[in-house]
Chain A
Amino acid sequence: MGMRMLIGCATKPVQHRSGLCHAAGRLRMNLLSASDRAALVDLIGEALAAQDEAAVAAAIDDLRADLPAFRHTAMRMIAEESAR
């Protein structure tokens, strides 16, 4: 279970010992796809996108790692509830 960056609304503390900093370092080579990067540039501009790319990549990678299980569970639940 990842989500190291995505927990702020509930818990996130601290003095820049955040997952962001760690994740950004760990995943510096794991950058965004061209389409993802275009969406980021559209949102915050080229300069900040370059600055934030590693951190955003770490965050979305964390979330996407959990998406296959989520999709399976969601479709099962929705189908079961629809059938009731």
Chain B
Amino acid sequence: MTSTWRWGVPEAAAALADGTISSEQLVTSALDRLHDTEARVHAWAHVDADAALAAARESDRRRAGGRSRGPLDGVPIGVKDIIDVAGMPTRAGSAVFSQAIPASRDAVAVGRFRAAGGVVLGKTTTYEFAFGQGTPPTINPRDPERYAGGSSIGSGVAVAVGQVPAALGTDTTGSGRNPAAINGLVGLKPTAGLVSKAGTIVVSTTMDAIAPIATSVRGVALLLDATAEPQALAECFGGSVVRAAERSAASRVGVDRAQWERWGVTPAVRTAVEDALLVLEGTGVEVVDIDASELDTALTPGLVISLAEATELHRHRLRAAASRYLPETRAMIASGALVAADDLALALRMRIALRQRVERMLDVHGLGAVVSPTLPVGAPRLASMTAALTSTGDAESLGSALRILCTASLTGLPGLSVACGEVDAGPVGMHFLGRWNGDAELLALAERYEQAAPWRARVPVDPR
């Protein structure tokens, strides 16, 4: 019973349902794994073992009394440390909040997860205010010399090493999907508004999304069901994204390989995604060539909006405590104050126009999704990550990831990354961009791939 930390969400949920294991045993195993590995990966900002075990025992009592709240009742997760969890401090990776008192209430998404019986083990690390500046101590478990993802880095690494079967991150311009891809996991940026952000220290009020991360597509779907807004679930998914995915008839995806060239996708990553597309075709999904070049236009308006919104969100805090920010974070937030109002207004209008055009592209070709690599490269070596990081065409560059991932972020459309192979630099992700409220279609397509793939991501992985 001691290796249950190897289980993903579906396996844990099934074992809890059939009585193979108790939540207390499951949480104890997760805590043991955390104890054994944390010194090598540093994925957690705060752990409350006593509260988690108490919640697990309460879950076990409910289940014994026939009052289970659903498949996630008793399943432990981690929560990115910009999302409030009642009883735990939200420090957001910043000295500004180093003395934060415990939150008095859960963020809405966390509250919904706990109402579904879920257990929160603690808070996972992030870069300061999720901006990606500075250096959280979190280490890539496969190769400490390589990048481990950002900014939901702790959520990705905690799941990758089996400390928890799933976690909540956030995604502003890819920061939930990126650590999922780097760590061989599944990460989803849901359709805007499907999961409430209330109680989260966001980067951008209109671009951030709560992003579930897990070892499997089904794990992400279950976590989405448990955290989504009930009205949206009812109106758009018949009450459950999991069941809507099971009913999904999506059977065609589009690819724009010329775009991959422009993004600087390396041959190894391209091969991994091409192989994955062959697997997908083998399941009956048609793969068609399309011109998706307009997806390249999302980055600048995405940055205009996210920076301007970040400045407004931090304005009062900066005036009170600017010296306690990391200089890198402070400068980045401050640059948003210099964004012209005209440009912000134009970016907000372009967001609507681009969403319409992407959805029309999907409609015209009858697509469930546009598929691409999640990142153009595997995990870069930390030593190679310099000012040239965003130079397009640089084989060691992650900068093109912004172009790949920002369309979903800007438009509010859903984006999902599923592990599809491994190269010398680590796992590779395959990205699905879908239509508004097309989350179930993305999950269905990704799960079809996942179930047919001859390859399995090495998760959980033992940290080096």
Contact = CB atoms under 8 A, between A and B. Distances in A.
Interface string A23-60: 10010000010001001101111001001100110011
B133 A78 contact: no
Given A3-B402, A43-B311, A11 B331 contact: no
A2 B357 CA distance: 26
A7 B399 contact: yes
Q: Which of B147, B349, B390 is packed against the most chain A CB atoms within 10 Å? A: B390
A8 B133 contact: yes
A46 to B, nearest CB: 11
A11 B135 contact: no
A77 B343 contact: no
A5 B335 contact: yes
Nearest to A32: B338
A12 B133 contact: yes
Contacts of B318: 43-44
B5 interface: no
A51 B325 CA distance: 13
B27 to A, nearest CB: 32
Q: Which of A8, A67, A69, A71 is packed against the most chain B CB atoms within 10 Å? A: A8
Contact of A43 (B334, B343, B383, B386): B334
B213 interface: no
A22 B386 contact: yes
Contacts of A70: 297, 300-301, 304, 343, 346-347, 350
Majority SS of interface residues in chain B? Answer: helix
Nearest to A9: B172
Nearest to A36: B338
B327 A19 contact: no
A12 B150 contact: yes
A6 B389 contact: no
Contacts of A3: 299, 303, 390, 399, 402
A8 B332 contact: yes
B390 A9 contact: no
Given A8-B127, A12-B127, A40-B334, A19 B306 contact: no
Given A9-B175, A43-B334, A1 B132 contact: no
Majority SS of interface residues in chain A? Answer: helix
Contacts of B346: 70-71, 74-75, 78
Interface string A70-84: 110111011011000
Nearest to B153: A13
Contacts of A7: 132, 173, 389-390, 398-399, 402
Contacts of A23: 387
Contacts of B294: 77
B390 A10 contact: no
Contacts of A81: 352-353, 356-357
B132 A63 contact: no
B328 interface: yes
B203 interface: yes
A22 B387 contact: yes
A78 B174 CA distance: 25
A5 B151 CA distance: 14
A13 B335 contact: no
B331 A63 contact: no
B14 interface: no
A78 B135 contact: no
B49 to A, nearest CB: 30
Given A45-B322, A71-B346, A11 B335 contact: no
Interface of A: 1-23, 26, 32, 36, 39-40, 42-45, 48, 51-52, 55-56, 59-60, 63, 66-67, 69-71, 73-75, 77-78, 80-81
24 contacts: A2-B390, A3-B303, A3-B390, A4-B388, A8-B131, A8-B329, A9-B175, A10-B172, A10-B175, A13-B385, A17-B387, A18-B133, A18-B387, A19-B390, A20-B327, A40-B338, A43-B319, A44-B319, A55-B328, A59-B335, A63-B300, A67-B343, A77-B354, A78-B346
**Which 3 residue pairs are nearest across A and B when measured between Cβ atoms?**
A8-B132, A12-B132, A22-B387
